[in-house]
Structure formats: structure tokens, C-alpha cells
Amino acid sequence: MPHKIEVIATEEAFCTPEIYKRTKELVGQPGLSRSLELMAKTVFGESPQSAYLKERLFDLGEGRLKEMREHGVDRQVISLTSPGVQALGADVAVGLAREANDMLAEAIKNHPSKFAGLTAVYPLDVMEAAREVERGATQLGLKGVIVNSHTAGLYLDDPRFRDFLAAAEAYSMPIYLHPREPSPGMEQPYVDYGLFFAGWGFAAETGLHAMRLIMSGRLDEFPGLRIILGHLGEGLPYWMKRIDNRYKLQASLGNGNPIKELPSFYFNRNFWITTSGMEDPAALRLCLENVPNDRIMFAGDFPYEDPRGSAEMVRSTVTDPSLLHRIFEGTATGLFGLNREQ
Amino acid sequence: MPHKIEVIATEEAFCTPEIYKRTKELVGQPGLSRSLELMAKTVFGESPQSAYLKERLFDLGEGRLKEMREHGVDRQVISLTSPGVQALGADVAVGLAREANDMLAEAIKNHPSKFAGLTAVYPLDVMEAAREVERGATQLGLKGVIVNSHTAGLYLDDPRFRDFLAAAEAYSMPIYLHPREPSPGMEQPYVDYGLFFAGWGFAAETGLHAMRLIMSGRLDEFPGLRIILGHLGEGLPYWMKRIDNRYKLQASLGNGNPIKELPSFYFNRNFWITTSGMEDPAALRLCLENVPNDRIMFAGDFPYEDPRGSAEMVRSTVTDPSLLHRIFEGTATGLFGLNREQ
């Protein structure tokens, strides 16, 4: 590596004013899940902390670039913040996703060496989502897809999403499976004490989503799918040996599954993980043991975290320069094809 | 340590024939949650693997002792297998818990240096559960309480359980919070592909239960409660730094909680963890970094696992003899007061 390592942060959020406004307006709407209402009230709420986040989510220009310099981040892979258009009505969601993607593509065009981005979609309109993946890949120069976990309680293993998964595979667009609050079918015990939020419920929701993709057999159908999990794999690296072990017991008890290989086979073949929101050297060390080392990328989770925490954690844990290069730059460059436009 | 280390296994299951029969009979009962029905069908089902488990669950004598010798386990801390009486009707559950406790106490009386045990309770009958904790501690020589996670969808932070928690604290009876299938309020996305089971849903359910105890403030009310989590802490050690970090963000967003300290304070003060079902040296190493080292105990999860896997994992990971002593013997002896009857 003759050059200085480029620090690429891979889970960095933005929001359009219109999507922000409509998310805020969800509060009080009939039929809303309780944890979604709490999300809208707090993250999109009236506190000084919300105002701080909002200012940064809206900025795709100088403010963001200034903070990147302060944080030592050379490039951001930017995606529409959670829950994005997936919490909005079908009547507006498709159009708002397209607008968000246009806006993001414009910002990337203005700062091609500083920004890259993922395509927002409304998965429930499956054919439109597949078309938007194609448009993101072929017209907008976007490098993957952001899916903020469930949409109306449905997970990507649902058979209706096959055409969307096929498009992501066909256009080599990795899917970043990002957290949101637990789905309506599981939210009840997560509503109390803020457990729906990023401290617990987000990982419960997103880890489950990943497990559904693995256990449904969908990765036998789409073996080329590339899925990214933040937060050091949403717990899966901690559990993978037990998951395999209990999968075998379950099969011997006659509660079999349709998958062809052990769960860990799919995790190792189809998944990448990032360091977003994790400042724990012990957790990174576990991942370096349990996850292929070309599958771990840096992420800052801007503006929800100070990216310096996660970056310092990586630097204090990893001493091998080539591994450090891979985590901060090499793996992201390869996975997203980041050098195409430079 | 002048003596050979005694290998004490702390999450070892038994069942009474009557509880087994009634659990099996749950299949097809109206109003049953779908994952509970799947549990009853598979674990308590008709496969050769079920027969293998059943034979071992019923044996509190020579068969168990023979396998302990084969597995290199010197003493078992035995508890009623999941879901125990907590899935049965209130009309029979209290009586069946008492019978199970009498049966276990009798086996311990016959093999006082080989067996110790935990008290089964039906938490929904709170006063009776509190009385059974007292009876277990003062009359039966039992060393703690087994709670197989939720009871009818309720968690131990529910205010109705205060008298039960008070009894456990007053009689210095640690509560082993053991997994069962996800509660009705969260089970929906766990029903497919066997995700309700030990490979994923068990930890989602039990980790959430622990987090509810922490985040509810119940551990401020009962600071002396001692809670044991199997499976290397049901994921909490992987997440604790992020839990603290996001707790602070959540508070700044105005979604505060009633607890006095950071979540990790309670985890470090009130929780013990065991190695049951975990054969991953990387996960144990993470726990040795993130959990106080006098809070980690060996468990074999007999008969659901071959305890040799977990024991070998400990031996291959821990080289310090005094730490090895603590994990296999010292911590369990202290926590459960195991030397009282020898």
C-alpha cells in the first residue's frame, strides 16, 4: 500500500426535508405501531438533540464535508436514514425514494471523491423497487441498496420480494440491511423502557431479518446476493457456532428447514459487516476470529454517532497494516466498486 | 487450590413424567401460541431424538451419574426443563412445581455431593411462587430458582411479580433466567423456519427479558437480586458498550428511563453468566474481557448438549489455573452456597 489509507465510512445517513417532515407527521396517525410512533416522536422530535441530528441529516455539502475532515473520514457511503420511505404510505413512498436518490446522486456528482451512495427503495412496490435498483446502478452511479429492515412487517425473505432480490443480484448491488424499530408482529415487549430503540430492539429486529434470509433458503435461490449488516453483524458473529449447532439438533427433532447448507455457510458467503456504533475492541476481536477478514468494514454511523469512537476502536484493536487497510478502505472499495468514478 | 478442580455444571435439565406428559398434550389446545405448539411438537415429540432426551430428562439417578462420569462433570445444578410449568394452566402448575421440587430434593438427598438444584415456580401465582422460593431455600435445600423466561407473555419486571423478586432477594436465591420460545407478543416473525428455537429465538426472548429487568428500574428496587443467564449472557456481553452508548442518546432525545445508573452498572452488579450451549472460544474471550471474571460459570446444558463441548472450549481458552478453578467450581460454589450440605 504505497498511499495513505483512505478512511471510508459505510453507514452514514442523510434525509430529505420532505421525508423528514412526513416521518414526523406519522405521530398520532391511526393504525401506527407503537414503537414507530415512539421513533417518530423521539428521533424526529423537538429536543435539541433532534435539531442537531436534523441539521446534519439534511446537509449533503460543506457542513458534512467539514465534519468528515474533523472526524478523519475521507469518504462516506451515504444512505437514506431509517426508516426512510419504508414507514410511509405506498402513495408517496416510491416518489420520495426516487427524489432522495436523485438528490443523493447530485451530491455525489458534486463531490465524487468524497461521497458515494446507496439506493433507497420502497420494497412493497416490488417491481418499482427492482426498477429503482436498476436506475441506481445504471443511471445514478449508486453503489448498493439501503433497506431499513422490515416494510409494514414484511421481511425480504417473503416470496413477494423475489424480483427485488433478483435485481440486486443482477446489478451487483449489495443490500445494506439497516436497523429500524421492531416490526408490528414482535414489537409488543419492546415498547416499554425504550427497548425498541438502538440499544436493544434495533439489533433484535435486524438480526432476525438476516436470520430469516439465511433460514428461508432465499440465499440458495440468489447465491450472489451480498448483504451488509452494521453494528458488527447485529449479533450474528457471537451466535454463529450455536446457530449451526442448534440447527442440527432442530433437524434431528424433525423440525427441518429448506436450506442446503449450515447457516454459517450462508453467513460466510453472503454477508459483510461494518463497525457502525460499536466501540468495543473485544467485539471486533471476536469478529476478526469468526468472520472472514475481508468482510469487515469501517462505518461511522454519522450523525448518530461520533465516527471517531468506532475509528479509534479499530485502530486500537488492529495492528496489522494490511488488515487495517482492508477494514478502512480495501473491502469497501471492492464491495461497492468505489473507484469506478474517480 | 490443593484439590483437583471440581467440575460443576450449572444449567442441567430434568423433567417429571407428569409435566412432560402435559407439555406434550398442549399440542392442538385452543389459544396456544404457535411457537409453543411447535416447541411441544418437536422437543416433546415423537422423533428418536425426543426419546433420547426424554429418557435423560426423567433420570435423576444412576443413568445421569454414569453420563456425568463420562462427561467429566462432578456435580450438576439441576433445574426443571423449559418451559416447565410456566406453559401449563394455573390449575395444575403450582402443584406440579411443588412435586418437581420434592422429586429433585429427594434426588439431591440421595446424592448430596453429586446433585444440587433450583426451585421451580409458577410465577403467575405470585404469593405461591414466593412461598415456594422460601420452601426451596429453607426446607428442600435448593440453591436458587429457575424461571424459564416469560409466563403467559409476562416478564419479571411486571409490577405484579414484586413479591416474588423480594422473596428471591430475601432468601439469597439466585434466579436462573432460562430460555423458552418467544412470548406471544413477539413471536410472529419467529414462527417461520424454526426461528423460535434455540438457534435464535431463545436468546432473543431471554436477552430481552434480562434487558427488561435492567431498564425497568426493578434492580434499583431489589439491588441484591442475582440473575443468571446461560449461553454466555444471551448476547448482552456483546452489546453492553452499545447499550450504554445508545441509552445516553435516547436520554438526550427525551425518551428517558427510570433507572439510576447506566445499564452496564446493573449487568455488572446483578448478573452471572454460564457457558451453556456455547462452544466458541472467541465468545468466551469476549466475556472474559467484558464481564467480571468472577461472574462466569461452566454449564453443560445436559441433555440438550454434550457438556464436553462447552468444557473443552473452556479448557482450550483459559490457561490461568485460578481462573479455570473459578469458572468450573469457585464461582458456582460461592453463588449457590454449594458446600453447605457436604
Burial class, A102, CB count within 10 angstroms (exposed 0-12 / middle 13-18 / buried 19+): middle
Q: What is the mean pLDDT of chain A?
A: 96
Of the candidates A45, A193, A240, the beta carbon closest to that of B212 is on A193
Q: What is the mean pLDDT of chain B?
A: 96
To the nearest whole Å, the CA of B216 is away from the closest chain A CA by 6
Contact of A286 with B283, CB cutoff 8 Å: yes
B303 inside 8 A of chain A by CB: no
Contact of A117 with A79, CB cutoff 8 Å: yes
Q: Which of A234, A185, A187, A154 is nearest to A38 (CA)?
A: A187
The topology (CATH level 3) of B8-336 is TIM Barrel (3.20.20)
**pLDDT > 80? residue A179:** yes
- A195 and B215 within 8 Å at the Cβ level: the answer is yes
Q: Pick from B37, B42, B151, B193 the residue to mutate for testing the A interface (most A CBs within 10 Å).
A: B193
* Among chain A residues, CA nearest to B290: A282
Q: Report the pLDDT value the prediction gives residue A257, as an integer from 0 to 100.
A: 72
Question: How far, in Å, CA of A306 to CA of A309, rounded?
Answer: 6
B203 inside 8 A of chain A by CB: yes
Using CB atoms and an 8 Å cut-off, which of residues 32-51 of chain A contact chain B?
38, 41-43, 45-50
- B194 and A215 within 8 Å at the Cβ level: the answer is yes
Q: Quick one: average pLDDT of A12-41?
A: 96
**pLDDT > 50? residue A340:** no
**pLDDT > 80? residue B2:** no
Residue whose entry in the numeric block shows the C-alpha cell 487497510: A325
Catalytic residue among A102, A192, A244, A301: A301
* Among chain B residues, CA nearest to A215: B193
- B198 and A305 within 8 Å at the Cβ level: the answer is no
Q: Report the pLDDT value the prediction gives residue A254, as an integer from 0 to 100.
A: 82
Chain B residues with CB inside 8 Å of A48's CB?
A: 252
Chain B residues with CB inside 8 Å of A286's CB?
A: 238, 282-283, 285-286
Of the candidates B50, B277, B278, the beta carbon closest to that of A253 is on B50
Q: Which residues of B are catalytic?
A: 301
- A283 and B238 within 8 Å at the Cβ level: the answer is yes
B120 inside 8 A of chain A by CB: no
| pLDDT tens, position by position, B19-49 | 999 999 999 999 999 999 999 999 999 999 9
Contact of A207 with A182, CB cutoff 8 Å: no
Q: In chain B, what percentage of residues exceed pLDDT 70?
A: 98
A301 is catalytic: yes
A20 inside 8 A of chain B by CB: no
Number of cross-chain residue pairs from A and B with Cβ atoms under 8 Å apart: 223
| Cα–Cα distance list, B145 to B23, B116, B172 (Å) | 20, 12, 10
**pLDDT > 90? residue A326:** yes
* Among chain B residues, CA nearest to A52: B253
* Among chain B residues, CA nearest to A247: B199
- The count of C-alpha atoms lying within 13 angstroms of the C-alpha of B263, restricted to the half-sphere facing its C-beta, is 28
Question: How far, in Å, CA of A213 to CA of A88, rounded?
Answer: 24
Binning pLDDT at 50, 70 and 90, where does residue B256 land?
low
| pLDDT tens, position by position, B187-235 | 999 999 999 999 999 999 999 999 999 999 999 999 999 999 999 999 9
| pLDDT tens, position by position, A53-83 | 999 999 999 999 999 999 999 999 999 999 9
Domain ranges of chain A: 8-336
Q: Report the pLDDT value the prediction gives residue A1, as an integer from 0 to 100.
A: 45
To the nearest whole Å, the CA of B195 is away from the closest chain A CA by 8
Q: Report the pLDDT value the prediction gives residue A341, as an integer from 0 to 100.
A: 45
Question: How far, in Å, CA of B229 to CA of B210, rounded?
Answer: 8
- Mention every residue, 6+ apart, whose C-beta is less than 8 A from residue A126: A160, A161, A162, A163, A164
To the nearest whole Å, the CA of B194 is away from the closest chain A CA by 7
Grouping H, G, I as helix, E, B as strand and the rest as coil, residue B299 is: coil
To the nearest whole Å, the CA of A186 is away from the closest chain B CA by 3
Question: How far, in Å, CA of A88 to CA of A125, rounded?
Answer: 12
Of the candidates B38, B45, B255, the beta carbon closest to that of A197 is on B255
| pLDDT tens, position by position, B321-334 | 999 999 999 999 99
| pLDDT tens, position by position, A251-300 | 888 876 779 999 999 999 999 999 999 999 999 999 999 999 999 999 99
Of the candidates B42, B207, B253, the beta carbon closest to that of A47 is on B253
Strand order in the sheet with A145-147: A119-120, A145-147, A175-177, A227-229, A271-274, A296-297
Per-residue 3-state assignment (H helix, E strand, C coil) for chain A: CCCCCCCEEEEEEECCHHHHHHHHCCCCCCCCCHHHHHHHHHCCCCCHHHHHHHHHHHCCCHHHHHHHHHHCCCEEEEEECCCHHHHCCHHHHHHHHHHHHHHHHHHHHHCCCCEEECEECCCCCHHHHHHHHHHHHHCCCCCCEEECCCECCECCCCHHHHHHHHHHHHCCCCEEECCCCCCCCCCHHHCHHHCCCCCCHHHHHHHHHHHHHHHCCHHHHCCCCCEEECHHHHCHHHHHHHHHHHHHHHHHCCCCCCCCCCHHHHHHHHEEEECCCCCCHHHHHHHHHHCCHHHEECCCCCCCCCHHHHHHHHHHHCCCHHHHHHHHHHHHHHHHCCCCCC
**pLDDT > 50? residue B340:** no
Q: Report the pLDDT value the prediction gives residue A342, as an integer from 0 to 100.
A: 43
Of the candidates A155, A241, A282, the beta carbon closest to that of B189 is on A155
B199 inside 8 A of chain A by CB: yes
- A250 and B197 within 8 Å at the Cβ level: the answer is yes
Chain B residues with CB inside 8 Å of A258's CB?
A: 193
| Cα–Cα distance list, B48 to A292, B27, B59, B270 (Å) | 37, 19, 17, 40
Q: Is B197 left (phi over 0), alpha (psi -120 to 50) or beta?
A: beta
A3 inside 8 A of chain B by CB: no
Strand order in the sheet with B119-120: B119-120, B145-147, B175-177, B227-229, B271-274, B296-297
- A208 and B199 within 8 Å at the Cβ level: the answer is no
Whether ipTM exceeds 0.90: yes
